[in-house]
Every structure is written in C-alpha cells, then in structure tokens.
C-alpha cells in the first residue's frame, strides 16, 4: 500500500516525519506506517494551493466547465467505489455494506450537489439611486484549510473539498491521523476528473503538528473543522488569533424523544438506526433515548430484543450490521462509561467488550437506564451506547432534551402534527428530525447550536463561508 504523507499539486509524497501506525480495528493488524507530512511539506501544499488560486485557472473557469469537472469527480468516485469502500472499511471498521452505499455514494453526491448549486448563483444589483448602479458580487476567498475527523472520513472529507472548491477556491485537506487512507485515495483520483493541479492538496499527520502548521500558514484564508468540541475551541482560538474566519462542526448528545402516540415500529427502527449505524460513532447519534412512560416498558423490551439480534462481526461480511470501534484507545473511552455494580444506573443490555472475539475492538450494543444528569447522558460516548431516560410530560421531555451543553440534532416521534410543531420549536438543536432518522438535505444548513458548533455546511451556508462579498458602484 502506498503510504501517502501528502499530495501536493498532484504529486504523491511518501516521506515525512514520525510515522503513524494505521491499525485495522477488526483484526488489530498493522495496515501501514504512515509518515507524517512535515512542516516543509505542509508549507509546500499551501504554496501549491495559493499558486493555483493566484494563477486563476480554476476560479476564472466558465462555470459550466467547472460544473462538468465537479460532476466528473462524482463519476470518478463512483467508478472507484469498491476500492474506496475496501480501504475505508479496513481503516475504520465501518461495515462495508454501510460505506459503499452511504458514504462513498454520498461523496460522489457532494460533488454533484455543488456542481448544480453553483449553476444557480446570483449576485445583487441596486438601481434605486438615479446616479449610480451598485452591484454586490461574490468572489472566492482563496485557500481553505480543511480539517476532518475519523468517523466518516470519505463522506466528511469530500463534503469539505467539494464545497470549498466549487466556489473557485483551492484547498488543503488534513484528514484525521486515525483514518486517512480512504480519503487520501479519493484525493489521489481527483486529477483524473480534470481538477487543475494544486486546487486540491492533502497533508496527513497529527493535529497538533501538521494540522496546527496548516491553519497558521499565512496563505490560508479560511479554516473549516469537523471534530471534537475541545479541539474546536483550540481551532477557533488559533484561527481568531490570525483573523481567519472559521467554522467548527462539533460533538453532539442528541435527544431522541419518543412520545406515547408515536408510530411504535417506526420510532423503534429510528432509535436503533440512530444509535447503532456507523458503529455508533456519529456526531448525529440519537444517544439519549427519551421515552414517555406509557410506552416505556414495551419500548425497552422491543429495543433490547432488536439490539441483541444485531449482527456483529467482520465489517467485510455483507451481513454485518455493527463492526468494531475505531481503535483500542477509543474502546477504552467507550468502556469507561459502563456503570459499575454499585451505580444507580442500570445496564439494560450490553456493556461489555464483545465476547467471542479474540481480536478486534468489538463492543456490545448497549443501553443503560439513567438520569439526565449522569455522565452517560451528558458526555459524548461516540459508540453503540445509548442512555435511556423515561419521561412523563411533554414539558419534561423538552427540559431533559435541552439540559445538555450540546445542540446538534434532535429526533422527535409522534403522530400529532401539533405535538411535532411544538417540539421543533422548543428543542434547542440546529436540526430536528421529525418521524424520520437522519434525513440529510444538502441545500439546508447542517451546523450546531451551543457546544455543537459555529457555522454550518450546506448549500447557502457554504456559499456564505467560501465566498466574500464585493460591493461595486458605477456611475450611470
Ligand atoms: P478530533 O477533534 O480529535 O480531531 C479532528 C481533527 O482535528 C483531526 O484531523 C485532528 O488531527 C485535528 N486536530 C486535532 N488537534 C488539532 C489542532 N490543534 N490543530 C489542527 N488540527 C487539529 O475529533 P475526532 O476524534 O477525529 O472526531 C470525533 C468528533 O468529531 C466527535 O466529537 C464528533 O461528534 C465530531 N463530529 C462532528 C460532526 C458534525 O458535523 N458536527 C461530524 C462528524 C464528527
């Protein structure tokens, strides 16, 4: 396997600093020792991006041509779906069946979406003044530093690349050092679609070294980050120090509210998908399951039966629904939330490293009955591990949902339109999914309230972030 330390203006660089051991979480075998892009390589990647932006081939290209290349990126990704899914599966342990159909297809869709979006861009024209015409134009911002996490590397990394370059920018992506393989392969393929040299660059390495060097580089104009809340604070501070606009998309602890008039089976399916897909490692996981007392007993019994029937195992097996956690360190983090014998919290199912596996970081699907003030309900566990909380009144449900430092997503299940409308107003989260799990509309913003982020992805949100406005006045 090629150990990609960086991709600079289309050149693959295989040498660098302190290597990072990339381990397959399903069998604990070493996949590759990945050299870290050193300071010089990071600077070269930014210089390549800056040069491509200044030369202007991409940003001044007729929009139809830029659209065609972005669409071709989608085709190139689709054509490589098996290779991309294979490498992503080895690196992350996410079931192959979930990567190909959801994440690689999403990556292709990200490019096609922004290709369509830029075809509809309009400026503003003010003609009220008899002596002047004033127009407001949007121009690309320049070089974007993109920093992405390990939990859906191809889907999230491609979103950042597609949304930044669609508006004419150049970029340098630094993927997570834990899961860089799939997205590095994807970047290496983009030249085949006709993206001009230097528009998309990549540096691999750790956050505090490669990532920090990247965002501090004076030739970087904007920073976008997806990852943990505490890292997000550091990124905001660094970007602020250098007066660079930054968006940070951060953690979540989303409430999944199931009212007693919900379509029971639909809500049950949604709750299971909300916490167990992507091996439970999702920012948008419905990790606090709030169920109204009248249906709580029936719900919990059905949930446990379904959770215990989940097929856990080799992520390459098409039948597998839940694979291993991404790393041993992360498994230890998840296990640190399992209540001990004397605790008031009650393990309803799971709570152990998966028995029967000699190798791999497998953890049982877990549900723990708790109160909202517990650590289990307040901290992001980021695994197949949900807090279960019973509530009596709607008021109580909103109170519990909002008693969280996070405000990313919320799920609401009820067959009453009035209840749904009330709930979506009362819940402090930037996305409320009503009787549906994980509906992603790329035109709409995907950001976070409170400690879940500042700024957002999505059509208009990306346009606002990746362009700057210029006001031009001309005498009539
Ligand atoms: P993380 O914060 O540890 O790392 C994210 C990225 O930041 C990595 O590439 C890392 O190398 C880099 N980084 C770390 N320190 C840095 C620094 N000082 N300067 C520059 N870069 C630095 O997050 P993670 O563990 O990779 O990802 C999991 C987190 O991401 C969870 O909290 C999850 O909720 C969040 N997430 C949020 C969204 C969203 O859309 N809101 C989506 C996916 C994941």
Tell me: the pLDDT tens digits for 91-101?
999 999 999 88
How far does residue 228's CA lie from ligand 1's centre (Å)?
Answer: 4
Q: Whose CA is nearest to atom 42 of ligand 1?
A: 283
Whether 102 maps to a domain, the answer reads yes
- Ligand 1 cavity residues, CB under 6 Å: 147-151, 156, 174-177, 206-208, 211-212, 215, 226-228, 231, 234-235, 249-252, 283, 380, 382, 408, 448, 453
Per-residue confidence (pLDDT) for residue 143, from 0 to 100: 99
Q: Whose CA is nearest to atom 11 of ligand 1?
A: 207
Q: Whose CA is nearest to atom 13 of ligand 1?
A: 207
Provide the strand spans (E) within 154-260: 170-174, 200-203, 222-226, 246-249, 255-258
Whether 441 maps to a domain, the answer reads no
What percentage of residues in the chain have a pLDDT greater than 90? 96
Q: What amino acid positions are annotated as catalytic residues? A: 249
Q: How far apart are CA 80 and CA 84, in angstroms?
A: 6
How far does residue 408's CA lie from ligand 1's centre (Å)?
Answer: 15
**2 CB-contact burial (10 Å; exposed 0-12 / middle 13-18 / buried 19+):** exposed
Confidence band for 439, pLDDT divided at 50, 70 and 90: confident
Per-residue confidence (pLDDT) for residue 13, from 0 to 100: 97
Provide the strand spans (E) within 130-188: 132-140, 143-147, 170-174
Mean of pLDDT values over 72-89 = 97
Residues 169 and 40 in one domain: yes
- Give the DSSP letter string of 286-309: --EEEEEHHHHHHHHHHHHHHHHT
List the structure tokens of 169.
Answer: 């920018």
How far does residue 150's CA lie from ligand 1's centre (Å)?
Answer: 7
Report the b/e string of 27-66 with b at 16+ CB within 10 A. Answer: eeeebbebbbbbeebbbbbbbbbbebbeeeebbeeeeeeb
- The parent domain of residue 136 ranges over 6-250+452-473
Per-residue confidence (pLDDT) for residue 2, from 0 to 100: 79
Among 228, 281, 331, 446, name the best residue to mutate to test ligand 1's pocket (greatest count of ligand atoms within 8 A of Cβ). Answer: 228
Residues 157 and 296 in one domain: no
How far does residue 277's CA lie from ligand 1's centre (Å)?
Answer: 19
Per-residue confidence (pLDDT) for residue 462, from 0 to 100: 98
**Number of the ligand 1 atom closest to the C-alpha atom of 251:** 34
Confidence band for 450, pLDDT divided at 50, 70 and 90: very high
Mean of pLDDT values over 156-169 = 98
Residues 399 and 467 in one domain: no
**347 CB-contact burial (10 Å; exposed 0-12 / middle 13-18 / buried 19+):** middle
Mean of pLDDT values over 438-456 = 95
Quick count: other Cβ atoms within 10 Å of Cβ 274? Answer: 24
User: In this structure, what CATH number is given to the domain that contains residue 401?
Assistant: 3.40.309.10
Per-residue confidence (pLDDT) for residue 328, from 0 to 100: 97
Q: Whose CA is nearest to atom 14 of ligand 1?
A: 207
Residues 378 and 404 in one domain: yes
123-155: pLDDT as tens digits: 999 999 999 999 999 999 999 999 999 999 999
Among 149, 154, 277, 462, name the best residue to mutate to test ligand 1's pocket (greatest count of ligand atoms within 8 A of Cβ). Answer: 149
Residues 307 and 200 in one domain: no
Examine the pLDDT at 1 and tell me if it is beyond 90.
no
Q: How far apart are CA 240 and CA 231, in angstroms?
A: 14
Residues 215 and 245 in one domain: yes
What percentage of residues in the chain have a pLDDT greater than 70? 100
Among 158, 178, 231, 277, name the best residue to mutate to test ligand 1's pocket (greatest count of ligand atoms within 8 A of Cβ). Answer: 231
Residues 240 and 378 in one domain: no
Mean of pLDDT values over 460-475 = 97
**Number of the ligand 1 atom closest to the C-alpha atom of 150:** 26
**Whole-complex ipTM:** 0.97
Among 106, 222, 227, name the best residue to mutate to test ligand 1's pocket (greatest count of ligand atoms within 8 A of Cβ). Answer: 227
Whether 443 maps to a domain, the answer reads no
Q: What is the rounded average pLDDT for all residues in the chain? A: 97
Helix axes 81-92, 63-79, angle to 10 degrees: 70
Whether 439 maps to a domain, the answer reads no
19-72: pLDDT as tens digits: 999 999 999 999 999 999 999 999 999 999 999 999 999 999 999 999 999 999
Residues 406 and 430 in one domain: yes
**Number of the ligand 1 atom closest to the C-alpha atom of 229:** 32
How far does residue 343's CA lie from ligand 1's centre (Å)?
Answer: 31
Q: Whose CA is nearest to atom 9 of ligand 1?
A: 176
196-212: pLDDT as tens digits: 999 999 999 999 999 99
Mean of pLDDT values over 162-169 = 98
**Number of the ligand 1 atom closest to the C-alpha atom of 227:** 30
Q: How far apart are CA 383 and CA 326, in angstroms?
A: 10
Residues 86 and 13 in one domain: yes
Q: What is the DSSP letter of 322?
A: B
Whether 357 maps to a domain, the answer reads yes
Mean of pLDDT values over 437-447 = 93
Mean of pLDDT values over 396-414 = 98
How far does residue 226's CA lie from ligand 1's centre (Å)?
Answer: 5
Whether 399 maps to a domain, the answer reads yes
Per-residue confidence (pLDDT) for residue 138, from 0 to 100: 96
Residue 126 DSSP SS3: strand
Confidence band for 186, pLDDT divided at 50, 70 and 90: very high
Confidence band for 17, pLDDT divided at 50, 70 and 90: confident
User: In this structure, what CATH number is given to the domain that contains residue 41?
Assistant: 3.40.605.10
List the structure tokens of 185.
Answer: 């392969």
Q: What angle do CA 157, 161, 165 make, to 5 degrees?
A: 175
Specify the pairing of strand 17-23 against strand 346-349. Answer: unpaired
Q: How far apart are CA 303 and CA 7, in angstroms?
A: 46
Whether 442 maps to a domain, the answer reads no
71-80: pLDDT as tens digits: 999 999 999 9
How far does residue 232's CA lie from ligand 1's centre (Å)?
Answer: 7
Examine the pLDDT at 311 and tell me if it is beyond 80.
yes
Residues 21 and 133 in one domain: yes
Q: How far apart are CA 396 and CA 209, in angstroms?
A: 45
Examine the pLDDT at 438 and tell me if it is beyond 90.
no
Residues 281 and 136 in one domain: no
Whether 349 maps to a domain, the answer reads yes
Residue from 123, 375, 406 nearest 285 by CA: 406
List the structure tokens of 269.
Answer: 């399916």
For 20, list phi and psi in degrees, rounded to 5. Answer: -110, 130
Q: How many domains does the chain have?
A: 2
Residues 54 and 87 in one domain: yes
């Amino acid at each position: 396997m090629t150990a990609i330390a960086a991709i600079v203006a289309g050149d693959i660089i295989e040498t660098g600093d302190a290597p990072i051991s990339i381990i397959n979480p399903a069998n604990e075998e070493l996949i590759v020792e990945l050299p870290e892009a050193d300071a010089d390589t990071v600077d070269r990647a930014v210089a390549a991006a800056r040069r491509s932006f200044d030369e202007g081939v991409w940003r001044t290209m007729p929009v139809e041509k830029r659209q065609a290349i972005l669409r071709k990126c989608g085709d190139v990704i689709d054509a490589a779906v098996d290779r991309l899914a294979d490498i992503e599966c080895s690196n992350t342990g996410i079931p192959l069946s979930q990567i190909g159909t959801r994440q690689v297809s999403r990556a292709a869709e990200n490019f096609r979406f922004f290709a369509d979006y830029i075809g509809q861009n309009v400026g503003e024209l003010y003609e009220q003044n008899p002596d002047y015409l004033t127009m407001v134009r949007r121009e690309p911002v320049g070089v974007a530093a993109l920093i992405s996490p390990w939990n859906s590397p191809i889907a999230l990394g491609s979103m950042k690349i597609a949304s930044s370059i669609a508006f004419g920018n150049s970029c340098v992506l630094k993927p997570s050092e834990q899961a860089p393989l799939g997205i590095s392969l994807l970047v290496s393929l983009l030249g085949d679609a006709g993206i001009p040299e230097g528009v998309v660059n990549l540096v691999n390495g750790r956050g505090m070294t490669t990532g920090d060097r990247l965002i501090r580089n004076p030739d970087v104009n904007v920073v976008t980050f997806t990852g943990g809340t505490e890292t997000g604070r550091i990124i905001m501070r660094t970007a602020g120090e250098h007066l660079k606009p930054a968006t940070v998309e951060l953690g979540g602890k989303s409430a999944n509210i199931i009212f007693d008039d919900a379509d029971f089976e639909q809500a049950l399916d949604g709750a299971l998908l909300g916490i167990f897909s992507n091996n439970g490692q999702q920012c948008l996981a419905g990790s606090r399951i709030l169920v109204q007392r009248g249906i709580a007993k029936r719900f919990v019994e059905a949930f446990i039966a379904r959770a215990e029937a989940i097929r856990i195992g080799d992520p390459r097996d098409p039948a597998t629904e839940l694979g291993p956690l991404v790393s041993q360190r992360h498994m230890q983090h998840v296990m640190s939330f399992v209540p001990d014998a004397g605790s008031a919290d009650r393990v309803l199912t799971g709570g152990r490293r998966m028995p029967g596996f000699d190798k791999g970081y497998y953890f049982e699907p877990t549900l723990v009955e708790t109160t909202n003030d517990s650590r289990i309900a307040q901290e992001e566990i980021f695994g197949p591990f949900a807090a279960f909380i019973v509530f009596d009144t709607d008021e109580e449900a909103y109170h519990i949902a909002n008693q969280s430092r996070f405000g990313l997503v919320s799920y609401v299940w009820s067959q009453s339109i009035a209840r749904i409308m009330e709930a979506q107003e009362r819940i402090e989260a930037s996305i409320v999914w009503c009787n549906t799990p994980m509906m992603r509309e790329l035109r709409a913003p995907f950001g976070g309230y409170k400690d879940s982020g500042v700024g957002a992805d999505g059509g208009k949100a990306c346009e606002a972030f990746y362009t700057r406005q210029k006001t031009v006045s001309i005498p009539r």
